[in-house]
Structure 1
Amino acid sequence: MKTKTIWNSLFAALALIVPRVALAEDPCRTTDFEGVPFTVCEAKAGEDLRLWLKDPTGALIGTPERLQAQIAQGERLVFAMNAGMYAPDRHPVGLYVENGSEIRPLVTAEGPGNFGLTPNGVFCVADTFRVIETHAFAAERPTCRFATQSGPMLVIDGALHPKFLPDSDSTNIRNGVGVSADGLTAWFVISDRPVTFHRFARFFRDELGAPNALYLDGSISRLIVPGEGRADLGLPMGPIVGLVAHD
């Protein structure tokens, strides 16, 4: 895990030195927060935001190259990142819904690791976007076209996760998703430098104004933005979330 963190840190440093290719529509931007750069990619309700796990043959996708092969003619991958925690076999550890089909069930029990650092939650894609705490999701059971469960929650109804410490010495490259209050915007964020949970969560709440945000992962976090030439280094991923444009 340390080796992967080093590679991500090196790539992030290079990304700040080498100019990115300008786009007519730039899906991602880099924002400085308390001296740390964060890359933010936006998706709007009604756009073609998808989750992927396997290709039509049943093989796990896992890499940017294999993901690109799933994009049909006339479509274009705008950005993608890892979409939640996964087991050693790279299958999701919690709820996973793809094209309305539940592939993995919701997990409500506490457990080890960051996923079990409750409260955790679910990112749900329907007509709008939602980040919902797991037990609230279990009680409501909303219909999601795509959904991924991960943890911990970063921001819960405007409050930071109660177990985050402002003076923690645990830092990592981290990625997550936050949703606007009206559910019309989802922000996919990766820290371009190692950060604590507390700072990462405050970025969503204080910089983006997200009332609810969910941690997707750390250390293995990767962002792919083909139009900007960004393809973070790392090992194959489990579930992937990405935005597709129709040319």
Structure 2
Amino acid sequence: MNRASILSALGLLSLMLSACDQPQAGDPVIRTDISGEKGKEIARSDAAEEPAPEQEPESEPEKATDPESSACKPVRFEGTMFMHCVADPAQHRVRMVLGPPFRSLAKFSTSRAEDAPTIAFAMNAGMYDGAGNPIGYYVENRERLKELNRNDGSGNFHLKPNGVFYGTGGTWRIKTTDDFYSTVGDRPDFGTQSGPMLVIDGKLHPEISEDGPSRRIRNGVGIDAGGKAHFAITASPVSFGQFARFFRDVAETPNALYLDGTVSSLWDPARGRMDTRADLGPLVVVETKE
């Protein structure tokens, strides 16, 4: 066999071996279930559907005004940095914002009038569909745009019990969806439904394991015994268990609600932080009382 024939044969062999390494259409693959604590098989038709690897949040450069005055403070817990933001009814107002929807904190920030109240911080708050609209109960400026969702289903939102973060004036609460349905008759000033609950009456959600295999950048909210709202967003991916323990052990909130993961974003003007890593849905905005 001459040299050209040998090279041709080697090239054909290399191509055949390479093809053997590629996933075939319809092969089942193991992905982490959206609930984050167990895997399930999902058939796929194209390897390109695999999600991209987890990345750190991206932030647009923004001028810090006064980091020391920020309502958000970095806290290390179980080896992970959390940004812990506290809204105090005596100093802050809370409201929900959807917009057209805006789909980003940056677009929301540019929509504000020059004489608008000062923003203490803002973050994404509740799960949403492909158009950015909430999939659960949503109230903005006392207008209900989405009814309470008590349906069963898959994913984080339906990991029962889920819950509602809501409030009127300076009274803010978190209740499980069933408790909210049974006890809340008057429409609040704001409200957003998400799931799962992280802490319920001082105890971790019964379906959340101590440290499941899924790691995501996550954000959530809890209400402490004095009525303050504690928001948290992680600096790096964490398990549901670790995230829930932060609200129980550090924020000391008897009730806490998961807001979302992977897309989790924060706007903290005092520190010059504006996360821009994903399209968002409902936003929770904390304004400073003048």
Q: Same fold (TM over 0.5)?
A: yes
Deviation string, structure 1 residues 150-190 (Cα, Å, up to 9, x no partner)? 0000000001011111131111000000001232x001100
Deviation string, structure 1 residues 76-105 (Cα, Å, up to 9, x no partner)? 222110011001111000000011111000
- Contact 2:122 2:284 (8 Å CA) reproduced: yes
Q: Compute the displacement of 1:74 (Å).
A: 4.8
Matched with 2:239 is: 196
Matched with 1:148 is: 192
Structure 1 unpaired stretches of 5+: none
CA distance in 1, matches of 2:163, 2:211: 24
Q: TM-score, normalised by structure 2?
A: 0.76
Matched with 1:216 is: 259
Q: Compute the displacement of 1:22 (Å).
A: 4.0
Q: Compute the displacement of 1:245 (Å).
A: 2.4
Structure 2 unpaired stretches of 5+: 1-49
- Contact 2:97 2:282 (8 Å CA) reproduced: yes
CA distance in 2, matches of 1:4, 1:246: 40
Matched with 1:106 is: 148
Q: Do residues 43 (structure 1) and 87 (structure 2) align? A: yes
Which secondary structure does the structure 2 equivalent of 1:181 belong to? coil
Count of residues in Structure 1 that have an aligned counterpart in Structure 2: 236
Which secondary structure does the structure 2 equivalent of 1:206 belong to? helix
Pairing 1:164-203 to 2, within 5 Å after superposition = 164-183=208-227, 185-203=228-246
- Contact 2:69 2:270 (8 Å CA) reproduced: no
- Contact 1:74 1:246 (8 Å CA) reproduced: no
Which secondary structure does the structure 1 equivalent of 2:126 belong to? coil
CA distance in 2, matches of 1:3, 1:228: 29
Which is bigger in relative contact order (C-alpha 8 A, separation at least 6)? 1
Percentage identity across aligned positions?
A: 40
Matched with 2:97 is: 52
**Structure with bigger gyration radius:** 2
CA distance in 1, matches of 2:252, 2:68: 26
Root-mean-square deviation (Å): 2.3
